[in-house]
Structure 1
Amino acid sequence: MYSAKNSGRKCLHFFRSSMEGYSLKRIEMEQQLRQGLERNEFKLYYQPQINLESGRIIGAEALIRWQHPEKGLLPPSQFIAIAEDTGLIEPIGEWVLREAWSQRQGWHRSGWEDFRIAVNLSAHQFNRTSLVKTIADVLCRSDIDPAILELELTETVAMQDVGKTLNILNELKKFGVQLSIDDFGTGYSSLLYLRQFPIDRLKIDRTFVANIAHNPNEAAIVVAIIAMAHSMGLEVIAEGVETKGQLSFLKMHGCNEAQGYLMGKPMSGPALFSRLQQEAR
């Protein structure tokens, strides 16, 4: 069944003995994920986001890691897909949101008032009727400006049900949070619908950024996204920036912000706070 689903659904797959081994591994991983939540084995890492005009850190994206008791520190690519298939992505996503906001409150008490924190919303999480209530509960437990919380939604998820997306985004916007469309350029969204969404920022997908130096077609797409976003009053952030050539191109064409290994790899909360202190000095 899962093999058929992963192949695009509406198809037939015959059982092979190799599938049994995969199923057993999948069940084992699901059990370990549940235990990981109970034992607080997950950690947040943060990748700095840089303002390209000032060169200063203005925010960070919260990224989950799993401190597996046997396999060590695991990136999301090794467990998120199973978490989504099993529904565990919802409690994991809520943990990320609450943990990121809790750490952000600690930085606020240390004097960092305008530093933005970005949290990804999965498709499962976004489509849950409890999302708005969860966000309200998280924000009401602090007295800091909700605008320093940015919620990221992929373009693909945003376009699945435009009417529903618009209603949810409008509800979230009432809290004063910032909203961004992640992986922009990969979902072929209608500009008509995009104009209706109460978003603040477009995030250019890393696949376009990776090729801007040697692929004129993708470079043209990046330039067009930046110009379009600015004409709509939106800011633009590019992800996956790894070379000085990419950074120069983005600066030259007016991109507002960037994140990627060139500016900083994902780091622990204490490491990020230390870097902020160094920058301040």
Structure 2
Amino acid sequence: MLENSLRRAIDNTQLLLLYQPQIDLVSGELVGVEALVRWRHSDLGLIAPERFIPVAEESDLIERVGEWVLNQACRQASDWLARGHVFGRMAVNVACRQYHRQGMVPVVERALAATGLHAEALELEVTETLLMEEMSLVVEQMCALKELGVRLSIDDFGTGYSSLAYLKALPVGKLKIDRSFVRDIPGAPDDMAISSAIIALANSLQMQVVAEGVENQAQADFLLRAGCRHAQGFLFSEPLSPEAFENYLRLEPRARLPD
């Protein structure tokens, strides 16, 4: 039922993007924004991606959903920049099968050309699962994307079963600490140890590190002490509609492009 409804949803523009800011924990400045897809179902209401993305991945719909998300995010970013809003980089999640079946390079090139967005303003997030499924194919495409100027990051880092050896082979500039390791900080010693290890690894490799799911000041304080400079989560803002995010841009400290 969901698969058939999702197919109609793509055609009937029932998908939408929300935008969550990424914040510098020291200065409070905006350093980036992540585009998050939602499905506005006529009967079921707003459906989170955890429910429908797996359905899309098991069918032939994930390429269509992924390309729509990328184009919409690039279009919105280009529009904000044209009106003088600065937000760092626009981060977009990429599904495994987008790399395997379509190849991401031509998809990204089309999106940038169609929207006029500069590649330097775009960041693609991939998961460890994707990286380990077909390493040689992914590395080749990621290198080509970096040549375009697109920034690449590993999402949900620490949740996969991968070898750390792949990090030196990938043109990746950022690791994102999964919210499952942040949720119980500072009351969970194991999560604190894992988060600290990821931060130390990223810093030693001269990568940026971003913590997801930061909901309270105690979590932010611990992460900053551990060496994590950037974070996103409800402590700073829930995911916002395009209109609400534009208001946020007017009110918050001016953004800067992360190093």
With the length of structure 1 as denominator, give the TM-score of the two structures. Answer: 0.86
Runs of 4+ in 1 over 6 A off after TM superposition: none
Which of 231-240 and 135-144 deviates more?
135-144
Spell out, residue by residue over 1:54-106, the C-alpha distance to the aligned partner (whole angstroms, 9 max, x if none): 11222111111111122222221232221111121110110000000001111
After TM superposition, list the pairs within 5 Å mapping 1:113-128 onto structure 2.
113=86, 115-128=88-101
Q: Is the contact made by 2:103 and 2:141 (CA closer than 8 Å) also made in structure 1?
A: no
Spell out, residue by residue over 1:33-71, the C-alpha distance to the aligned partner (whole angstroms, 9 max, x if none): 111111111110011111112112221111111111222
After TM superposition, list the pairs within 5 Å mapping 1:17-96 onto structure 2.
28-96=1-69
The one-letter code sitting in structure 2 at the alignment partner of 1:85 is E
The one-letter code sitting in structure 2 at the alignment partner of 1:127 is H
1:248 to 221, 225, 230: 221
Q: Is the contact made by 1:114 and 1:148 (CA closer than 8 Å) also made in structure 2?
A: no
Structure 1 residue aligned with 2:230: 257
Extract unaligned runs of 5+ from structure 1. 1-27
Which of 122-131 and 268-277 deviates more?
122-131
Q: Secondary structure at the match of 1:87?
A: coil
Which of 175-184 and 62-71 deviates more?
62-71
Structure 1 residue aligned with 2:74: 101
Q: Is the contact made by 1:241 and 1:261 (CA closer than 8 Å) also made in structure 2?
A: yes
Structure 1 residue aligned with 2:257: none
- Aligned-residue identity in percent: 44
Extract unaligned runs of 5+ from structure 2. 255-259
The one-letter code sitting in structure 2 at the alignment partner of 1:141 is A
Deviation at 1:143, TM superposition (A): 4.3
Deviation at 1:113, TM superposition (A): 4.2
1:154 to 127, 130, 134: 127
Deviation at 1:191, TM superposition (A): 2.2
2:169 to 183, 196, 202: 196
After TM superposition, list the pairs within 5 Å mapping 1:147-186 onto structure 2.
147-186=120-159
Q: Secondary structure at the match of 2:133?
A: coil
**Structure-2 separation of matches of 1:185 and 1:76:** 20
Structure 2 residue aligned with 1:234: 207
Q: Secondary structure at the match of 2:77?
A: helix
Root mean square deviation of aligned Cα: 1.5
Does structure 1 residue 271 correspond to structure 2 residue 244? yes
**Structure-2 separation of matches of 1:123 and 1:78:** 17
**Structure-1 separation of matches of 2:100 and 2:49:** 21
Q: Secondary structure at the match of 1:66?
A: strand
Larger Rg: 1
Q: Is the contact made by 1:42 and 1:66 (CA closer than 8 Å) also made in structure 2?
A: yes
**Structure-2 separation of matches of 1:66 and 1:129:** 23
Q: Is the contact made by 1:89 and 1:122 (CA closer than 8 Å) also made in structure 2?
A: yes
**Structure-2 separation of matches of 1:142 and 1:240:** 30
Does structure 1 residue 206 correspond to structure 2 residue 174? no
Q: Is the contact made by 2:74 and 2:117 (CA closer than 8 Å) also made in structure 1?
A: no
Q: Secondary structure at the match of 1:225?
A: helix
Structure 2 residue aligned with 1:22: none
Spell out, residue by residue over 1:2-35, the C-alpha distance to the aligned partner (whole angstroms, 9 max, x if none): xxxxxxxxxxxxxxxxxxxxxxxxxx32221111
Deviation at 1:137, TM superposition (A): 1.1
Q: Secondary structure at the match of 2:78?
A: helix
Total equivalences in the alignment: 254
Q: Secondary structure at the match of 2:22?
A: strand
With the length of structure 2 as denominator, give the TM-score of the two structures. Answer: 0.93
